[in-house]
Amino acid sequence: MQLTPLDWAVIAAYFAFNIAIGLYYRSRAGQNTSEFFLSGRNVSWWLAGTSMVATTFAADTPLAVTGLVARNGIAGNWLWWCMVASGMLTVFFYARLWRRSGVMTDIEFAEIRYAGKPAAFLRGFRALYLALPINCIILGWVNKAMVDILMLVLGVSKEQALGLVLVIIVLTSFISTLSGLWGVLVMDLFQFVIKMGMVIALAVYAVQSVGGIDAMKARLAEVDARRGGGSILSFTPDLDSAWMPLITFFVYLALNWWATWSPGAEPGGGGYVAQRMFSAKDEKNSLLATLWFNIAHYAIRPWPWILTALVSVILYPNLENPEHGYVKVMIDHLPPSLRGLMVAAFAAAYMSTIGTHLNWGASYLVNDFYRRFWKKNEGEGHYVRASQVSTVILTVASAVIAYYIDSIAGAWKLLLVTGAGTGGVLLLRWYWWRINAWSEVSSMIAAFAVSLYLQVGLKMDSDKPADFAWLMIYTVSITTAVWLAVTFLTKPEPDHVLDSFYRRTRPSLVGWGPVAERLPEVRPARDGWSNFFCWIAGCTLIYGALFGIGKLLLGDTGLGAGMLLLSAVAGFFIYWNLSRRGWSTVVE
């Protein structure tokens, strides 16, 4: 794709504006670690929520969705649509609790909920494990994806593309180091507007290139006839298909969304999602930020990608890698006047993810390891400088991993699947006093051991749908049995730790009876059923909007309008219920 001087000027202006944001927030970020990592806990819901959406919109995300649609139709997106229930659980059961906890990172939670060496081990181990191998592999994967995109878009060699990516990541690291989370948040807002605007524009031009929606549907019917099987336009999978048999779909809907841990989809919230909740002004803003994130993430953002993916199936039916169809549509059908903006949009998608992961990973290294175990009594200026150094370290490590990412793909897949089974304890630790540090430790060990045995010993392949389903069932069942047994065989946490946590977070009375009896002066939340109905309404809101928008775009006006009406009713119920009982803690 040829870029004109005007295109390069647009790209330069984009980077200049990002640098200006970093310089503007430099003084505020340098005040203390709370400002550097949490923006002084003074962020409005719309900014925090948009930042979450921008972070999950990486440069390779549209390509991944294109691959899912090309291989398995629109229904292929159930691989991530199934996580709606988990997202809504975080909104109504955990967002306010996380904000109320007052911690700087979700890992710090271990030492306000548990006591002694097991709690310290959990905090230190998870800080290093998540900040270094897990976070750097994610960064390396995003770097590699951006290299592939630049090779396709600019027609450069791998070495040249890698050089350009290194320049961008150094620039992103410079801005993140300079401005802390404030700079990351404002850049995310700016970048989200650019990349959403451009993917919508690309979808419009893509559909026009095949003659409009009706012509696109007709040509996709021809594709269905050649392939055989169900319709590529179906919103639900064919449960007799090889890629989503009934047992696998059952696992996704009934098990996967709550039982597994993965970066960005932690049961009950965690990682950079939790970081945005901590940075919110108050509990109301924390809840609304997470709600807006889920609405935008699942219901609003996917359709421009899906429409372009459907066009790519028509135009490029024999691609070796169908994910590249998205970029080919852009190269062949985007007007020359928009090419510079599209390159800037890819850079924005890349930078928003990189910026967040650098700041978030540095928060673990400094707050949960360096400050906790190494240098405990230094001034705030010292820890801010340590945060900046940590950001640089993560930048270098991720660049190195990007070069070797293909050789560690198997290890990465293994690491992700070993998170199966830990979700139950992560959810219940807030709502059941009896869970202790050994519960978490044993769940981590059991999940790793069982998953490793099933994959390495019994040769179960998580890439095969049926194997994945049974791997999940076995791992979750055994891991849950192990951590429950360990919980009852070990002592509960000391009373003073449980009392302190109960005073601080005021979780639901159910599950905390013995502690509540000791502390009758604490008025706990009694909003369990109300949260449950909001959770059901939240899932209805998301799926109603997601499928309603899709039906309208594909020409089914009546059904689409009906689904959107159902979504609106669910949204009104949530607003009425939260306004009636209060947006923060509810006590009686």
**In this structure, are residues 78 and 256 in contact, taking their beta carbons and an 8 Å threshold?**
no
Return the closest-CA partner of residue 44 out of 194, 175, 185.
185
Instruction: Measure Cα distances from 407 to 137, 140, 403 in Å.
Output: 12, 12, 9
Structure tokens at 151: 């090779």
Residue 516 lies in a domain: no
Residue 158 lies in a domain: yes
Backbone phi and psi for residue 460, each to the nearest 5 degrees, phi listed first: -80, 130
- CA–CA distance, 107 with 363 (Å, rounded to integer): 10
Structure tokens at 539: 């899932």
The pLDDT mean for the chain works out to: 89
**In this structure, are residues 292 and 45 in contact, taking their beta carbons and an 8 Å threshold?**
yes
Average pLDDT of the segment spanning 140-159: 85
Instruction: Measure Cα distances from 187 to 5, 443, 458 in Å.
Output: 25, 38, 47
How many helices and strands, by DSSP H and E, does the chain display?
A: 29, 0
Give 9-15 contacts, CB < 8 A, sequence gap 24+. 9/340, 10/340, 10/341, 10/344, 11/340, 11/343, 11/344, 11/347, 14/194, 14/344, 14/347, 14/348, 15/171, 15/347
Packed helices 437-452 and 465-489: angle between N→C axes, nearest 10 degrees: 150
How far is the first Cα of the chain from the last one, in angstroms, to the nearest whole number?
64
Residue 196 lies in a domain: yes
pLDDT at position 266, please? 84
Phi-psi domain of 155 (left: phi exceeds 0; alpha: psi -120 through 50; beta: other): left
User: 377, 406, 435: which is the final residue of a domain?
Assistant: 406
Q: How many CB atoms lie within 10 A of CB 400?
A: 12
Q: Hey, what amino acid is at 67?
A: G
Structure tokens at 85: 């229930």
- CA–CA distance, 486 with 278 (Å, rounded to integer): 31
pLDDT at position 312, please? 97
List residues bridging with 280 in a β-sheet.
43
Helices (H), 430-464: 437-452
Instruction: Measure Cα distances from 552 to 409, 530, 540, 547 in Å.
Output: 39, 32, 17, 9
Q: Which of these ranges, 67-76, 207-216, 450-459, has the smallest mean pLDDT?
A: 450-459
User: 373, 406, 439: which is the final residue of a domain?
Assistant: 406
Return the closest-CA partner of residue 85 out of 543, 546, 551.
543
Backbone phi and psi for residue 296, each to the nearest 5 degrees, phi listed first: -70, -40
Average pLDDT of the segment spanning 205-213: 96
Structure tokens at 448: 């790793």
Residue 481 lies in a domain: no
Residue 586 binned pLDDT confidence (cut-offs 50, 70, 90): very low
Residue 416 binned pLDDT confidence (cut-offs 50, 70, 90): low
- CA–CA distance, 484 with 257 (Å, rounded to integer): 20
User: What contacts 368, CB < 8 A, 6 or more positions away?
Assistant: 105, 107, 108, 123, 124, 126, 127
pLDDT at position 400, please? 79
Together in a domain, 12 and 145? yes
Together in a domain, 220 and 352? yes
Residue 178 lies in a domain: yes
Average pLDDT of the segment spanning 179-205: 92
334-343 pLDDT tens trace: 998 898 899 8
Average pLDDT of the segment spanning 97-125: 93
Q: Hey, what amino acid is at 544?
A: G
Average pLDDT of the segment spanning 525-547: 93
- CA–CA distance, 44 with 50 (Å, rounded to integer): 10
Q: Work out the percent of the chain whose per-residue pLDDT is above 90.
A: 55
Total tally of structural domains belonging to the chain: 2
- CA–CA distance, 368 with 235 (Å, rounded to integer): 43
Top-confidence range, 506-510, 555-559, 578-582: 555-559
pLDDT at 410 over 80: no
- CA–CA distance, 409 with 467 (Å, rounded to integer): 19
**In this structure, are residues 367 and 32 in contact, taking their beta carbons and an 8 Å threshold?**
no
Residue 39 per-residue DSSP state = G
- Buried/exposed 478-512: b ≥16 CB within 10 Å, e otherwise: bbbebbbebbeebeebeeebbeebbebbbbbbebb
Phi-psi domain of 522 (left: phi exceeds 0; alpha: psi -120 through 50; beta: other): beta
Residue 355 binned pLDDT confidence (cut-offs 50, 70, 90): confident
Residue 34 lies in a domain: yes
Average pLDDT of the segment spanning 446-471: 89
**In this structure, are residues 462 and 413 in contact, taking their beta carbons and an 8 Å threshold?**
yes
* 123 burial via Cβ count (<10 Å: 0-12, 13-18, 19+): buried
Residue 487 binned pLDDT confidence (cut-offs 50, 70, 90): very high
pLDDT at position 66, please? 94
Residue 235 per-residue DSSP state = S
Residue 418 lies in a domain: no
- CA–CA distance, 549 with 335 (Å, rounded to integer): 26
User: What contacts 306, CB < 8 A, 6 or more positions away?
Assistant: 65, 69, 74, 77, 550
Longest CA–CA span in the chain (Å) reads: 72
User: 361, 377, 406: which is the final residue of a domain?
Assistant: 406
- CA–CA distance, 457 with 453 (Å, rounded to integer): 5
Together in a domain, 60 and 197? yes
Residue 254 lies in a domain: no
What's the domain range around 318? Answer: 5-77+101-234+297-406
CATH code of the domain containing 67: 1.20.1730.10
